[in-house]
Amino acid sequence: MHDETKELLRRSMRYITAIPREAVIGFSGGKDSVCLAEVMRRAGHPGRLVYSATGIDPPPMVQFIKREYGDRVTWVRPPSNYYRNLALWGPPTIHTRWCCEALKHFGSRVVGTKFRVLGVRREESTHRSKYKVAEARKGMVLYFPILEWKLWHVWDFIESEGLPVCSLYDEIDRVGCVICPYHTPKQHEWYRTQYPGPFRVWERVVKEWWLRTRDTPNRKGERRYMVHNTPEDFMAAWFIKACWAVKGKRDLAENAKEGR
Ligand code: SF4
């Protein structure tokens, strides 16, 4: 193992000594979760691994968790279903990830503790770069023991310690849910060829949501102006940028002028 990884491991294990014993560990089966679970185990923390079944996880990930982690993982099922939420709120975006809150974070809320440990890393986003190793949020206390680890530290640790990883990493460098706002267009294409079924359902539900949103007057009783002209345009833009307002203000103004 590289010296830098060893130093990070020592630091993470020191942080872990301050985490209450009843804390649970959010576990998705991804590489960061595998790394976190091992660091917690080495630090002697008895926290349970909690996996929240989102319903749109890739099947090889679900099989990997069952095979490699078995009884170490507590499975929880969120009361709300991904597609029901999708029909209500539309697709999650990189700015409004209702999916994490409703499906993933739900897991450790139901296991009777307010202390939660997550394998989040600063490097993953600008937003996460501002996190502290322990934070109080919405009545919970969150701990991020591998916050300072970079991607290569995670792989260095996994490889040098011979930890198991899901076979999906042989094909793709980022594994999330089958349809995720963080996937790049190339990753979406890869997932679409592997799992066409969820994509068909997703597109049908999003189309219905888009048309319903367009046809429902706003609070003032006025017709809504949609950024895109059709649900197909909207979905094409989402798969590029996972953002609703991909078109600029000029397009909006033109839509308004033309009464769209
Ligand atoms: S992996 Fe992606 S789709 Fe799944 S909960 Fe997280 S952000 Fe949402």
53 in ligand 1 pocket by Cβ < 6 Å? no
pLDDT, tens digit, 9 for 90 and up, residues 172-229: 988 989 999 989 899 999 999 999 999 999 999 999 999 999 988 888 888 888 888 9
Nearest one of 195, 203, 120 to 154, comparing CA atoms: 120
26 domain-assigned:
yes
Last residue of one domain, picked from the residues 143, 170, 197: 170
180 in ligand 1 pocket by Cβ < 6 Å? yes
* Atom of ligand 1 minimally distant from the CA of 56: 4
189 domain-assigned:
yes
Asked if 11 and 83 sit in the same domain, the reply is yes
Token pair 């709120």: residue: 89
As a whole-number percent, the residues of the chain with pLDDT over 70 amount to 90
The average confidence (pLDDT) of the chain is: 88
176 domain-assigned:
no
Q: Give the number of other Cβ atoms within 10 Å of residue 108's Cβ.
A: 28
Asked if 59 and 156 sit in the same domain, the reply is yes
pLDDT, tens digit, 9 for 90 and up, residues 232-248: 999 999 998 765 544 44
122 domain-assigned:
yes
| pTM for the whole structure | 0.84
Does residue 101 surpass a pLDDT of 80? no
Q: How far apart are CA 119 and CA 25, in angstroms?
A: 8
Asked if 234 and 136 sit in the same domain, the reply is no
Residue 237 near residue 228 (C-beta atoms within 8 A): yes
Q: How far apart are CA 217 and CA 58, in angstroms?
A: 37
Distance 255 CA to ligand 1 centre (A): 32
Asked if 103 and 222 sit in the same domain, the reply is no
206 in ligand 1 pocket by Cβ < 6 Å? no
Asked if 157 and 39 sit in the same domain, the reply is yes
179 domain-assigned:
no
Q: How far apart are CA 2 and CA 155, in angstroms?
A: 11
Residue 14 near residue 39 (C-beta atoms within 8 A): no
- Tokens in use for 173? 């460098």
Asked if 64 and 101 sit in the same domain, the reply is yes
Asked if 161 and 196 sit in the same domain, the reply is no
Distance 95 CA to ligand 1 centre (A): 12
Average pLDDT over every residue of 65-72: 94
**How many domains does the structure of the chain reveal?**
2
Residue 50 near residue 129 (C-beta atoms within 8 A): no
Asked if 109 and 189 sit in the same domain, the reply is no
120 in ligand 1 pocket by Cβ < 6 Å? no
Residue 67, domain extent: 3-170
- Tokens in use for 149? 């680890």
175 domain-assigned:
no
* Atom of ligand 1 minimally distant from the CA of 179: 3
Say what the pLDDT of residue 61 is: 96
224 domain-assigned:
yes
Last residue of one domain, picked from the residues 170, 193, 216: 170
180 domain-assigned:
no
CATH assignment of the domain containing 128: 3.40.50.620
- Tokens in use for 159? 């490889």
Say what the pLDDT of residue 169 is: 96
